[in-house]
Amino acid sequence: MIEEIEELRRQALAEIAAAVELQALEELRVRHLGRRSRLREAMSQLGSLPADQRPALGATSGGAQKAIQEALDQRRATLIEAAEGGTALDVTLPGHRPLRGRLHPLNSLAEELSSIFQRLGFAVVDGPEMEDEYHNFDALNTPADHPARDLHATFYLEGGGLLRTHTSTVQIRIMETTPPPVRVVAPGRCYRRDTVDATHHFVFHQIEGLYVDRHVSMADLKGTIEAMGRQLLGPQTKVRFRPHFFPFTEPSVEYDFSCSLCRGEGRGCRVCKGTGWVEISGAGMVDPAVFAAVGYDPERYTGFAFGAGIDRIAMIRYGIDDIRLFLESDLRFTRQF
**pLDDT one-digit tens code per residue, 87-118:** 556 667 787 888 777 888 999 999 999 999 99
Are both 216 and 291 inside the same structural domain? Answer: yes
Are both 210 and 124 inside the same structural domain? Answer: yes
Q: Kind and range of the H or E element at 199?
A: none
Predicted confidence (pLDDT) at residue 264 exceeds the cutoff of 80: no
95 occurs within a structural domain? no
90 occurs within a structural domain? no
Collapsed DSSP state (helix, strand, coil) of residue 22 = helix
* Sign, Cα dihedral of 241, 242, 246, 249: positive
Half-sphere exposure of 297 (CA within 13 A, CB side): 4
98 occurs within a structural domain? no
Could you tell me the pLDDT band of residue 271, with boundaries at 50, 70 and 90? low
Give the chain's mean pLDDT.
86
Q: What is the pLDDT of residues 196-214, one digit of tens each?
A: 887 788 999 999 999 999 9
Of 52, 85, 118, the residue that ends a domain is 85
Q: Report the Cα 56 to chain-centroid distance in Å.
A: 35
* Domain extent for 170: 105-334
97 occurs within a structural domain? no
Are both 311 and 262 inside the same structural domain? Answer: yes
Q: How many domains does the chain have?
A: 2
